Amino acid sequence: MSKIEKHKAYWRQNIKYLSILLFVWFAVSFGCGILLKDFLNRYSLGGFKLGFWFAQQGSIYVFVVLIFLYMYLMNRLDKKYGYIDN
Amino acid sequence: MSVQLWTWILVGISFALYFGIAIWARAGSTKEFYVAGGGVSPLANGMATAADWMSAASFISMAGIISFAGYDGSVYLMGWTGGYVLLALLLAPYLRKFGKFTVPDFIGDRYYSNTARTVAVICALIVSFTYVAGQMRGVGIVFSQFLQVEITTGVIIGMAVVLVFAFLGGMKGITYTQVAQYCVLIFAFMVPAIFISIQMTGSIIPQIGMGGRVEDGTYLLEKLDNLHTQLGFKEYTEGSKSTWDVFAITLALMAGTAGLPHVIVRFFTVPNVKDARKSAGYALLLIAILYTTAPAVSVFARTNLIETVSNQEYSTMPEWFKNWENMGLIAWSDKNEDGKIQYVNGEATTGKPEFTEERGANGERIIVNASTETNELYVDRDIMVLANPEIAQLPAWVIALVAAGGLAAALSTAAGLLLVISTSVSHDLIKKQLKPDISDKGELLAARLSILVAVIVAGLFGIYPPGFVAAVVALAFGLAAASFFPAIVLGIFDKRMNKQGAISGMVVGIILMLFYMIRFKTGLIGVLEPLPESKWWFGTSPEGFGTVAMFINVIISVIISRLTPAPPKSVLKIVESIRIPSGAGEAQSH
């Protein structure tokens, strides 16, 4: 694989990870916490209405997980393509 | 020991610690001054970012606002945390790889244009000053309340303290001081929250206690919803803003967070791209501790407040109630003359309460501007976090701890912002444009002098707050979203984006946002009154308008860039290089 192709393949994979993670980012906050709130509020999680829980708790937990997941995926990708500084 | 004595002891110890660190971490070079030498560990940088990020507003006001807004308060929770996802995924690693000092540096180089750099500097200054003005006021209020001095004295003490940190240490001193400030502020926020959670629900974790059961077996949130319904308030877990407006405000806060210069510059301080990604993760994790606890505090405080005051005799009110009344942050007028507090939906006063020197039949302070509505009680939102430990009758040292935490939050944010302002002036303006041959030493001197000027200007805003400051702080996010955020993201992800596109997008975005702010929120002082809500475009509040301005910025940038010449080869190389995390990758591709 030439340098340029390698570069392109790496970037494509990065964009793929970004799209998936940002989809989840959008789904938990704007989706579950805002647009679907009224629907989800019919269900409950312990003492929380579900939509309310997503808006004030759940989305934040997912955000933290997303960033660490991205870090893990990218570190793995960097290693695969040898883009690592010593 | 009294609360006052405890306050002096805890504030004294924490300040001695900050000063010690500031002296230990003095900056010797511009690189240390601007980006702490680029050698801060990811965890330390995460803590500093978190302290930088969590201002007096997060610490003191946010839980209070949510307490009164219920579900509508979610915009702040999601907005101010979700922005870190954008930052970590779309900006931080690439800007770190780019490896210069500031956001205008990136904009200037990526768009090969000093005009672009100047536009970015102006946007950075507008955003940072609107933000810092509110912080200095916050510093003043906290100092004055806990040290029992006038607000003006409080602001001056705050100015002096910030100046010492920023002057001595630059980014290096500030970073390590902020690490200590994070520890103080998170401890100060969590201790009372945990105490109250145990008291009310038996759960040691506030995030779980919020969804737990109270003594009589009903869920806390259900109980609060019922209380709200009985008193004529909207249910706590339901909002009153339109779905579109909640959506727009949340997105504007997210993009604004990711576009705030004092947050972005943090990711220039870590050694490499890998650490930039990790650092963003730590920062959000550490921020999330406070941001998931705050809504629990809101629920506890709201329930406690209603149960303590609603339909009770004024004469039986505890001491904290009368203390805050004496400070003018609680007001009560016995409209139906039964000696009891009727706390129901509606405004108790027209605007902020105005007190006379007299006392009424029950010993309450008489106010002149009681409204005609049934509600008799005015409670300032900002007191919820401060008063919470007192309402829950926690020990004196916990109440004093909150003072130390509030100060840590306000000072760390003010220091970070002032540094960005001084960097914009000394680096982006003087070094890059006016006097490129300035020596490292000269630049360092210029940086320190501009901090001095910035502190004084910010302090004046704090002492003589123009009425619009409070209104404008929330809009700083809209400004950042409408200007920087698209220019940076497009600069990384759209190779075809050129200077014509980016500059016109930024200019149109920030002007549109400023225009909307003036038209609907602040007015043009003395000339134009702000228009009412009914005139909002598509029902978008000024706080949410950043989202609209941001999309217009993107559309204009993309269209104009496609109609004008592509960026030169050298710029494409910059883009190629920042997309690859390692330095070796960059060298090989030439």
Beta carbons of B143 and B154 less than 8 angstroms apart:
yes
Beta carbons of B76 and B422 less than 8 angstroms apart:
no
- B213 and A85 in contact by Cβ < 8 A? no
DSSP assignment, residue B210?
T
Rounded Cα–Cα distance for residues B53 and A84 (Å): 30
Cross-chain CB nearest to B250 (options A34, A57, A60): A34
Rounded Cα–Cα distance for residues B411 and B40 (Å): 20
Could you tell me the residue range of the domain that residue B513 belongs to?
Answer: 3-304+393-588
The contacts of residue B207 (CB under 8 Å, 6+ apart) are A57, B292, B293, B296
How many domains, in total, are found in chain B? 2
Interchain contact A1–B (C-beta under 8 A): no
Q: Indicate if B252 and B332 belong to the same structural domain.
A: no
B536 has a pLDDT exceeding 50: yes
Q: Tens digit of pLDDT for each residue in B40-66?
A: 778 888 888 888 888 877 787 788 888
Beta carbons of B193 and B296 less than 8 angstroms apart:
yes
Rounded Cα–Cα distance for residues B115 and B109 (Å): 11
Helices (runs of H) and strands (runs of E) counted in chain A = 4, 2
> Residue range B111-120: average pLDDT?
86
Place of tokens 């010449």: B565
Rounded Cα–Cα distance for residues A35 and A52 (Å): 11
Sign of CA dihedral B563, B565, B566, B571: negative
Q: How far is A77 from chain B (nearest CA, A)?
A: 10
- B589 and A55 in contact by Cβ < 8 A? no
Beta carbons of B240 and B233 less than 8 angstroms apart:
no
A chain contacts of residue B207, beta-carbon cutoff 8 Å = 57
Answer whether residue A64 is part of any domain.
Answer: yes
Q: Indicate if B384 and B405 belong to the same structural domain.
A: no
Kindly report which listed range (B28-37, B182-191, B263-272, B323-332) carries the lowest average pLDDT score: B28-37
A chain contacts of residue B295, beta-carbon cutoff 8 Å = 56-57
Q: Tens digit of pLDDT for each residue in B408-441?
A: 888 888 888 887 777 777 777 777 777 777 777 7
Give strand pairing partners of B377. Answer: B332
- Half-sphere exposure for B550 (CA within 13 Å, toward CB): 28
Beta carbons of B326 and B332 less than 8 angstroms apart:
no
Query: Which of B87, B495, B580 is the best substitution to test chain A (most A C-beta atoms within 10 A)?
Result: B580
State residue B291's pLDDT score.
Answer: 93
Q: Tens digit of pLDDT for each residue in A9-59?
A: 999 999 999 999 999 999 999 999 899 888 888 888 888 889 899 999 999
State residue B587's pLDDT score.
Answer: 36
The 3-state DSSP class for residue B349 equals: strand
State residue B390's pLDDT score.
Answer: 80
Q: Tens digit of pLDDT for each residue in B498-526?
A: 989 999 999 999 899 888 888 877 666 55
Give the amino acid at B458.
A
Domain final position from B388, B403, B419: B388
Q: Indicate if B209 and B346 belong to the same structural domain.
A: no
Q: Indicate if B164 and B203 belong to the same structural domain.
A: yes
Q: Closest Cα to residue B297, out of B408, B389, B397, B202?
A: B389
Cross-chain CB nearest to A84 (options B85, B207, B582): B582
Answer whether residue A43 is part of any domain.
Answer: yes
- Closest residue in chain A to residue B213, using alpha carbons only: A47
Q: Indicate if B317 and B292 belong to the same structural domain.
A: no
- A67 and B588 in contact by Cβ < 8 A? no
Q: Tens digit of pLDDT for each residue in B212-253?
A: 888 888 888 888 888 888 888 888 888 788 889 899 999 999
Cross-chain CB nearest to A71 (options B250, B277, B288): B277
Give strand pairing partners of A84. Answer: none
Cross-chain CB nearest to B219 (options A47, A56, A74): A47
Helix (H) or strand (E) holding A44: strand A44-45
Name the range with the highest mean pLDDT among B4-13, B170-179, B379-388: B4-13
Size of interface A-B (CB pairs under 8 A): 142
Task: Specify the pairing of strand B377-379 against strand B365-367.
Answer: unpaired
Answer whether residue A18 is part of any domain.
Answer: yes
- A74 and B71 in contact by Cβ < 8 A? no
Contact residues, A window 26-65, toward B, CB-based 8 Å cutoff:
29-30, 33-35, 37, 41, 45-49, 52-53, 55-57, 59-61, 63-64
What's the length of chain A? 86
> Residue range B383-390: average pLDDT?
80
Q: How far is B354 from chain A (nearest CA, A)?
A: 35
Query: Which of B85, B226, B289 is the best substitution to test chain A (most A C-beta atoms within 10 A)?
Result: B85
Q: Indicate if B348 and B420 belong to the same structural domain.
A: no
A chain contacts of residue B581, beta-carbon cutoff 8 Å = 74, 78, 83-85
Rounded Cα–Cα distance for residues B257 and B574 (Å): 25
- A60 and B78 in contact by Cβ < 8 A? yes
Answer whether residue A76 is part of any domain.
Answer: yes
pLDDT tier, B586 (very low <50, low <70, confident <90, very high otherwise): very low
Q: How far is B268 from chain A (nearest CA, A)?
A: 17
Provide the strand spans (E) within B114-228.
Answer: none
Rounded Cα–Cα distance for residues A67 and A61 (Å): 10
State residue A16's pLDDT score.
Answer: 95
- Closest residue in chain B to residue A31, using alpha carbons only: B247
Q: How far is B82 from chain A (nearest CA, A)?
A: 6
Computed over every residue of chain B, the mean pLDDT equals 82
Name the range with the highest mean pLDDT among B86-95, B470-479, B548-557: B548-557
Q: Closest Cα to residue A71, out of B92, B274, B287?
A: B274
Q: Indicate if B431 and B451 belong to the same structural domain.
A: yes
Name the range with the highest mean pLDDT among A23-37, B165-179, B333-347, B515-529: A23-37
B chain contacts of residue A48, beta-carbon cutoff 8 Å = 210-211, 221
How many domains, in total, are found in chain A? 1
Beta carbons of B238 and B71 less than 8 angstroms apart:
yes
Answer whether residue A86 is part of any domain.
Answer: no
Q: Indicate if B504 and B375 belong to the same structural domain.
A: no
Could you tell me the residue range of the domain that residue A9 belongs to?
Answer: 3-80
Rounded Cα–Cα distance for residues B27 and B33 (Å): 5
Question: In this structure, what CATH number is given to the domain that contains residue B266?
Answer: 1.20.1730.10
State residue A24's pLDDT score.
Answer: 96
- A56 and B74 in contact by Cβ < 8 A? yes
Q: Indicate if B430 and B556 belong to the same structural domain.
A: yes
Using only the alpha carbons of chain A, give its radius of gyration: 18
Answer whether residue A85 is part of any domain.
Answer: no
Sign of CA dihedral B125, B49, B210, A57: positive
Answer whether residue A31 is part of any domain.
Answer: yes
Tokens describing residue B222:
């259900």
Q: Indicate if B209 and B340 belong to the same structural domain.
A: no
B368 has a pLDDT exceeding 70: yes
Q: How far is B566 from chain A (nearest CA, A)?
A: 20
- Closest residue in chain A to residue B212, using alpha carbons only: A47
Q: Indicate if B224 and B199 belong to the same structural domain.
A: yes
- A84 and B277 in contact by Cβ < 8 A? no
Beta carbons of A41 and B237 less than 8 angstroms apart:
yes
Q: Indicate if B122 and B199 belong to the same structural domain.
A: yes
pLDDT tier, B584 (very low <50, low <70, confident <90, very high otherwise): very low
> Residue range B7-14: average pLDDT?
86
The 3-state DSSP class for residue B339 equals: coil
Query: Which of B45, B54, B71, B234 is the best substitution to test chain A (most A C-beta atoms within 10 A)?
Result: B71
> Residue range B431-459: average pLDDT?
79
Task: Specify the pairing of strand A48-49 against strand A44-45.
Answer: antiparallel
Domain final position from B334, B356, B388: B388
Kindly report which listed range (A82-86, B90-94, B323-327) carries the lowest average pLDDT score: A82-86
B487 has a pLDDT exceeding 80: yes
End-to-end CA distance of chain B: 69
Answer whether residue A57 is part of any domain.
Answer: yes
B280 has a pLDDT exceeding 60: yes
CB atoms within 10 A of CB B107: 28
State residue B27's pLDDT score.
Answer: 63
- Closest residue in chain B to residue A84, using alpha carbons only: B582
> Residue range B126-144: average pLDDT?
75
